[in-house]
């Protein structure tokens, strides 16, 4: 598939879809199967015919602009997986997404997917085999014993009451048992399903957070560097991979892909693009249709709190280039429906799947978990990539309006890095390493400058009034993930770990292993600039001098920093404070104390003692005295979401009376009750939802 | 315990245990005596990018390439040299060879580990010379890590 052109293999012809592909259906076959399933011709219409369709009113009196068997809100890891699965099983599928392109946050992920339960990749590595295409040339990274797994062990792991993490919280104890069981049972099938849809997995190595402590279950998605980008062949050009030039990524992959030689072999590159683009390619090939630039806002149900879910109402939310004002367009176009009306209604003849993500980008919603995080200065991860409609709580809000229940809301606080301080400075969009080359780079202007933990000893960190608030060295430290082979809190590392053992949370042990620096909480604390009613804590700044730049060889230039309100340089501290106040959109008050803070700090450096925060214990202290002086933003990031809609083991949304809401499913970060980080949750949820939606009665 | 803590603890253990005999505290040379070659560092860069940069970052500053990963100890420049001040390259080599990469220690060849150390020195602005760093513990034990010449 070439950029912005219909591919030669998936055009408009009746046999456009390769019938040789596993699960693939040609359009002719699809029509045949669709007819058996009772799918009307209107749902099968191509782009043009779908647009021309006259609104139809059904018994509910609603005029529908579009209809399909399965309608999915969100084209990320859960949505795309659900779409392909339902399509494979014979349904017509329409996906709406608020962004200009597909993939959601999967596209900017590292594609580290922790499944398990004896999944096919674990089996492959146990057998010492390589992948079918022969790309993998390294030996298995884990021993056989570390990969021997079962659904029972996986289920036990993800519901283990005894695990307490280094933050003193319990990542598995509160998981919904039915949901966790269904997840564990579907992990092996989901891994195979993804492989059947062009996703290539590396050797197994460790486990992602929330994926259990007993076995290694994580594999990373990769592509091979080659002369052309070809999903079927599994190759990608150096330019598309973002490895030709370290300071340039591509429309294909917003973040430069990582070197996967250790996990795969020479010339392998890995990140979320290898996963997301593979699934997207397959979805478009199989005839799934997409309406982009469109944010779903409302679930249409027969009655406000009763009856079946009939469809969605969605708003036009075009993403425009911040400089040119032109609408951004998706990398690939096949299957896109061009639709610019303000509001449309979409009828789901079988079911709606909510896969539109979590709440991390909605300060008002996330404020229910940590009121200080109502501070709008701090974004969700992927702000530039997804825009303001990303992770905005759409599914939760719409679900609540029709009576859905919530689940696991407290679990937003029981994942160790739900929110954290980024070591990437000088950009508001501080989670990713997106570089110029991706269409949304203009929303961040600078990639930021990742100084790592070690870089935090090079500056003083101040709050919105210019006061230090914590030991800089401790500020960004994060506790370890609750994952194999350890560091997750339990005393036994690797195969020595014993699940369901009371000693895992014996208080003497927890006291010993507790390892959380509360720098983030100090950063969010009220200060002299916090005002009623919200008492926002305000932006955070790293303040340093030219000597720090010289010591570290920091390259403070574009694209790492830019004149975008998150990087400042001045000849005096007073001037620096004025520039920050004038130039940053969230700097509501002057940094009145900054000059005094720097003077005091320099005296502490002379004395070798920091009586305020005992920095001398944590690392070297350096003067901030050599002009010019610099300020880089320090960002708190709300990484992802755990609390959300309550679903059962089929991913059906459940209401507050414990009853299934007919015709409504949800997966990924839109649901709660499963404290599993990242892709492993979303893909399996999507697979389960896609499996069961086709069992719904078809109202056609 | 964080990575740095483990690394320091392990290096202390190494010093006092099996490799004590090769840790010559009165090393005759330092890293500043042109102990590696540019070609070796270039080979090391290749090995580093495939095996180490994921966690330690492509700038070797400990800023992980993957935002989901926690930061790691810096492997070059002032902070690296300060952390390792006074130890020999033999300790660094043995620690690296036996513990890295974390999920598959020892998965690089011994020569690749040595080449990676040459690359770390190169990025630290330690001058190169005419002779390669040799894969020989006794020789490595005679080369001290110092923050400055």
User: Do you know the residue count of chain B?
Assistant: 149
Mean pLDDT of A516-537: 96
In this structure, of A27-36, A354-363, A508-517, B138-147, the range with the lowest mean pLDDT score is A27-36
Residue B57 lies in a domain: yes
- Name all domains of chain A by residue range, CATH numbers in brackets: 27-106+282-358+393-415+640-693 (3.50.50.60), 423-480+515-638 (3.90.700.10)
Encode burial over A618-637: b for 16+ CB neighbours within 10 A, e otherwise: bbebbbbeeeebbbbbbbbb
pLDDT digits (tens, 9 = 90+) for A111-153: 999 999 999 999 999 999 999 999 999 999 999 999 999 999 9
The band of A419, judged by pLDDT with boundaries at 50, 70 and 90, is confident
Which residue would you say has higher pLDDT here, A677 or B92? B92
Comparing CB atoms, the residue among B54, B62, B101 nearest residue A452 is: B62
Tell me the chain A residues in contact with residue B1 when contact means C-beta distances shorter than 8 Å: 515
Give the bridge partners for A66, in sequence order. Answer: A346
Quick check: A133 and A299 in contact, CB under 8 A? no
Mean pLDDT of B120-139: 95
pLDDT of residue A13: 32
Tell me the chain A residues in contact with residue B58 when contact means C-beta distances shorter than 8 Å: 246
**Does residue A156 register a pLDDT over 70?**
yes
Mean pLDDT of A317-324: 93
Residue B149 lies in a domain: no
The band of A17, judged by pLDDT with boundaries at 50, 70 and 90, is very low
Residues on chain B bordering chain A, Cβ-to-Cβ distance under 8 angstroms: 1-2, 49-51, 53-54, 57-58, 61-74, 77-79, 82, 101, 103-104, 107
Q: Which of A450, A475, A555, A632 has the highest number of chain B CBs within 10 A, making it the mutation to test binding with B?
A: A450
Mean pLDDT of A264-285: 97
Which residue would you say has higher pLDDT here, A550 or B67? A550
- Residue labelled with tokens 């069992």: A695
Number of structural domains in chain B: 1
Tell me the chain A residues in contact with residue B74 when contact means C-beta distances shorter than 8 Å: 452, 454
* Cα–Cα distance measured from residue A436 to residue A209, given in angstroms and rounded to the nearest whole number: 30
> Cβ contact (<8 Å) for A424 and B67?
yes
Q: Please enumerate in sequence order all residues whose Cβ is within 8 A of that of A86, keeping only pairs 6 or more positions apart, or say none.
A: A69, A70, A93, A689, A690, A691, A693, A694
Quick check: B120 and B141 in contact, CB under 8 A? no
Peptide bond into A533 cis (omega under 30): yes
> Cβ contact (<8 Å) for B70 and A112?
no
Which helix (H) or strand (E) segment holds residue B8: the answer is helix B3-16
Please give the residue range of the domain that contains residue B38. 3-144
* Backbone dihedral angles phi then psi of residue A570, each to the nearest 5 degrees: -155, 160
pLDDT of residue A59: 63
The band of A486, judged by pLDDT with boundaries at 50, 70 and 90, is confident
pLDDT of residue B19: 44
**Does residue A28 register a pLDDT over 70?**
no
Tell me the chain A residues in contact with residue B53 when contact means C-beta distances shorter than 8 Å: 258-259
Q: To 10 degrees, the CA torsion angle through A106, A108, A110, A111?
A: 30
Q: How many helices (H) and strands (E) does chain A have?
A: 19, 26
* Cα–Cα distance measured from residue A260 to residue B56, given in angstroms and rounded to the nearest whole number: 14
Mean pLDDT of A392-405: 97
Name all contacts of A523-527 with Cβ < 8 Å and 24+ positions apart. A523/A421, A523/A461, A523/A463, A523/A469, A523/A470, A523/A475, A523/A634, A523/A636, A524/A370, A524/A372, A524/A373, A524/A375, A524/A636, A525/A372, A525/A463, A525/A469, A527/A463, A527/A464, A527/A465, A527/A467, A527/A469
Residue B53 lies in a domain: yes
* Cα–Cα distance measured from residue A498 to residue A212, given in angstroms and rounded to the nearest whole number: 11
Mean pLDDT of A256-274: 94
**Does residue A39 register a pLDDT over 70?**
no
Minimum CA–CA partner of B76 in chain A: A552
Minimal C-alpha gap between A620 and chain B (Å): 10
**Does residue A512 register a pLDDT over 90?**
yes
Query: What ipTM does this complex have?
Result: 0.77
Residue B100 lies in a domain: yes
The band of B23, judged by pLDDT with boundaries at 50, 70 and 90, is very low
Residue B91 lies in a domain: yes
Mean pLDDT of A196-204: 98
pLDDT digits (tens, 9 = 90+) for A72-104: 999 999 999 999 999 999 999 999 999 999 999
**Does residue B91 register a pLDDT over 60?**
yes
**Does residue B13 register a pLDDT over 70?**
no
Residue B68 lies in a domain: yes
CATH of the domain at B128: 1.10.760.10
* Cα–Cα distance measured from residue A424 to residue A418, given in angstroms and rounded to the nearest whole number: 17
pLDDT of residue A443: 94
**Does residue A360 register a pLDDT over 80?**
yes
Residue B140 lies in a domain: yes
pLDDT of residue A55: 52
Residue B10 lies in a domain: yes
Which residue would you say has higher pLDDT here, B104 or A51? B104
């Amino acid at each position: 598939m070439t950029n912005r052109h219909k591919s030669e293999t998936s055009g408009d012809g009746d046999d456009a879809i390769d019938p040789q592909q596993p699960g693939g259906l040609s359009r002719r076959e699809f029509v045949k199967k669709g007819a058996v399933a009772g799918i009307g011709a209107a749902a099968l219409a191509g782009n043009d015919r779908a647009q021309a369709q006259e609104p139809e009113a059904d018994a509910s009196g609603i005029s529908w602009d579009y209809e399909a068997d399965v309608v999915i809100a969100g084209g990320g890891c859960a949505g795309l997986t659900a779409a392909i699965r339902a399509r494979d099983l014979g349904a017509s599928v329409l996906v709406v997404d608020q962004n200009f392109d597909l993939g959601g946050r999967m596209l900017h992920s590292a594609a580290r997917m922790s499944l398990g339960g004896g999944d096919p990749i674990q089996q492959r590595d146990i057998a010492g085999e390589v992948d079918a295409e022969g790309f993998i040339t390294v030996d298995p990274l884990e021993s056989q014993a570390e990969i021997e797994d079962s659904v029972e062990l996986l289920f036990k792991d993800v519901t283990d009451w005894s695990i307490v993490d280094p933050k003193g919280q319990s990542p598995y104890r509160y998981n919904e048992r039915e949901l966790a069981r269904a997840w564990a049972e579907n992990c092996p099938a989901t891994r195979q399903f993804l492989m059947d849809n062009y996703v290539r997995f590396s050797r197994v190595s460790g486990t992602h957070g929330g994926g259990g402590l007993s076995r290694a279950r994580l594999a990373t998605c990769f592509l091979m560097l080659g002369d052309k980008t070809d999903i079927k062949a599994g190759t990608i050009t150096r330019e598309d991979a973002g490895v030709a030039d370290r300071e340039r990524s591509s429309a294909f992959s917003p973040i430069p892909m990582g070197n996967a030689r250790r996990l795969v072999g020479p010339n392998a590159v890995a990140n979320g693009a290898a996963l997301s683009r593979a699934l997207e390619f397959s979805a478009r090939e199989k005839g799934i249709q997409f309406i982009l630039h469109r944010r779903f806002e409302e679930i249409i149900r027969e009655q406000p709190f009763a009856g079946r879910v009939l469809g969605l109402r969605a708003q036009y939310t075009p993403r425009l280039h911040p400089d040119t004002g032109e609408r951004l367009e998706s990398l690939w176009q096949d299957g896109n429906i061009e639709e610019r009306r303000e509001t449309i209604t979409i009828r789901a003849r079988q079911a709606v799947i909510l896969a539109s993500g979590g709440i991390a980008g909605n300060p008002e919603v996330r404020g229910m978990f940590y009121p200080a995080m109502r501070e709008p200065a701090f974004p969700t991860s992927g702000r530039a990539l997804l825009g303001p409609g990303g992770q905005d709580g759409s599914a939760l809000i719409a679900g609540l309006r029709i009576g859905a229940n919530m689940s696991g809301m407290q679990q937003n606080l029981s994942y160790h890095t739900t929110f954290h301080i980024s070591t990437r400075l000088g950009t508001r969009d501080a989670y990713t390493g997106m570089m110029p080359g991706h269409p949304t780079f203009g929303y961040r202007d600078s990639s930021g400058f990742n100084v790592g933990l070690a870089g935090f000893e090079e500056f003083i960190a101040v709050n919105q009034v210019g006061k230090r608030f914590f030991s800089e060295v401790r500020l960004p430290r994060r506790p370890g993930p609750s994952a194999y082979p350890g560091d997750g809190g339990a005393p036994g590392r690797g195969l020595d770990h014993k699940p369901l053992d009371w000693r895992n949370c014996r208080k003497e042990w927890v006291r010993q292993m507790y390892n959380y620096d509360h720098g983030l909480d100090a950063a969010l604390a009220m200060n002299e600039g916090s005002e009623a009613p919200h008492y926002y804590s305000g932006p955070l700044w790293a303040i340093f001098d030219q000597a720090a730049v010289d010591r570290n060889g920091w390259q403070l230039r574009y694209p790492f920093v830019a004149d975008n309100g998150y990087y400042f340089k001045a000849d005096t501290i007073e001037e620096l404070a004025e520039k920050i106040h004038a130039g940053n959109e969230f700097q509501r008050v002057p940094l009145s104390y900054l000059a005094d803070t720097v003077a005091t700090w320099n005296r502490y450096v002379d004395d070798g003692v920091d009586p305020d925060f005992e920095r001398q214990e944590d690392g070297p202290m350096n003067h901030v005295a050599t002009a010019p002086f610099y300020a880089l933003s320090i960002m708190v990031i709300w990484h992802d979401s755990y609390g959300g809609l309550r679903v059962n083991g089929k991913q059906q949304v459940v209401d507050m009376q414990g009853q299934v809401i007919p015709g409504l499913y949800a997966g990924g970060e839109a649901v709660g009750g499963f404290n599993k980080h990242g892709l492993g949750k979303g893909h399996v949820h999507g697979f389960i939802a896609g499996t069961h939606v086709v069992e719904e009665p078809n109202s056609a | 315990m964080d990575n740095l803590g483990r690394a320091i603890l392990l290096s202390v253990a190494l010093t006092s245990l099996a490799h004590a005999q090769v840790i010559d505290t009165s090393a005759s040379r330092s890293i500043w005596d042109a102990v590696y070659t540019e070609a070796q560092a270039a080979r090391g860069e290749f090995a580093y990018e495939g095996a180490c940069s994921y966690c330690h970052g492509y700038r070797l500053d400990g800023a992980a390439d993957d935002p989901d990963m926690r930061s790691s100890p810096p492997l070059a420049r002032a902070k690296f040299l300060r952390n390792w001040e006074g130890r020999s390259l033999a300790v660094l080599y043995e620690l690296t060879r036996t513990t890295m990469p974390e999920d598959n220690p020892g998965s690089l060849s011994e020569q690749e580990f040595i080449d990676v150390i040459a690359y770390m020195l190169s990025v630290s602005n330690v001058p190169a010379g005419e002779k390669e760093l040799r894969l020989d513990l006794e020789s490595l034990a005679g080369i001290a890590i110092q923050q400055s010449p």
